[in-house]
């Protein structure tokens, strides 16, 4: 059986993800931003959540291993962009949230990342993007279910 990588959604997604990550790295570096695209995504995820998250919840939202997320958080906490606090419900659970500084600085870099998103989506109709996002969410759900069980 011949495998055609050009017709594989996984290969196409991987190539686009690589280009987006490379574009983010360039945009962030040019802006003097001190963090990697992955660390920036951690900040964006915390900002989107609107409230502190447990390590497991954060890792789950990011579809990352908690150990990887912990390493990223170490730098973010060191630079005072994020903070760790004990949960008010259970002191054994560490909650992670953005600091005021982290939120303010993130808001300055988000427009630059939005311009990258607009560049990536140039020539794409809204309906095409919506259909693509629906397919990607379905693929993510299917694969997560397979890995769980």
Measured between alpha carbons, how far is 83 from 47 in angstroms, rounded to an integer? 13
State the pTM of this model: 0.86
What are the E-state strand segments in 36-125? 53-54, 82-86, 94-98
For Cα atoms 55, 116, 57, give the angle at the middle one, nearest 5 degrees: 10
> Closest Cα partner for 50 from 91, 97, 111?
97
3-state secondary structure of 84: strand
- The CATH architecture annotation of domain 5-115 reads Orthogonal Bundle (1.10)
Domain-wise residue ranges, the chain: 5-115
Judge whether residue 1 has pLDDT over 70.
Answer: no
pLDDT digits (tens, 9 = 90+) for 74-91: 999 999 999 999 988 888
What is d(CA 35, CA 73) in angstroms, rounded to the nearest whole number?
11
Mean pLDDT over the full length of the chain = 93
pLDDT tens for 96-132 read: 999 999 999 999 999 999 999 999 999 999 999 999 9
Angle at 117 between CA 72 and CA 69, to 5 degrees: 10
Q: What is the pLDDT of residue 7?
A: 78
Find, among 103, 105, 84, 106, the residue nearest to 95 by Cα.
84
Instruction: Tell me the longest C-alpha to C-alpha distance in the chain.
Output: 56
């Amino acid at each position: 059986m011949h495998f055609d990588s050009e017709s594989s959604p996984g290969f196409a997604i991987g190539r686009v993800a690589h280009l987006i990550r490379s574009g983010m790295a360039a945009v962030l570096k040019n802006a003097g931003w001190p963090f990697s695209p992955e660390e920036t995504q951690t900040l964006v995820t915390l900002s989107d959540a609107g409230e502190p998250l447990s390590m497991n919840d954060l890792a789950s939202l990011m579809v990352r291993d908690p150990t990887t997320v912990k390493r990223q958080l170490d730098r973010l906490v060191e630079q005072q962009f994020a903070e760790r606090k004990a949960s008010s419900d259970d002191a054994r659970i560490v909650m992670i949230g953005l600091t005021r500084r982290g939120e303010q600085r993130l808001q300055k870099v988000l427009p630059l990342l939005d311009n990258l998103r607009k560049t990536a989506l140039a020539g794409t109709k809204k309906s095409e993007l919506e259909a693509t996002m629906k397919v990607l969410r379905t693929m993510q759900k299917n694969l997560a279910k397979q890995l769980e069980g």
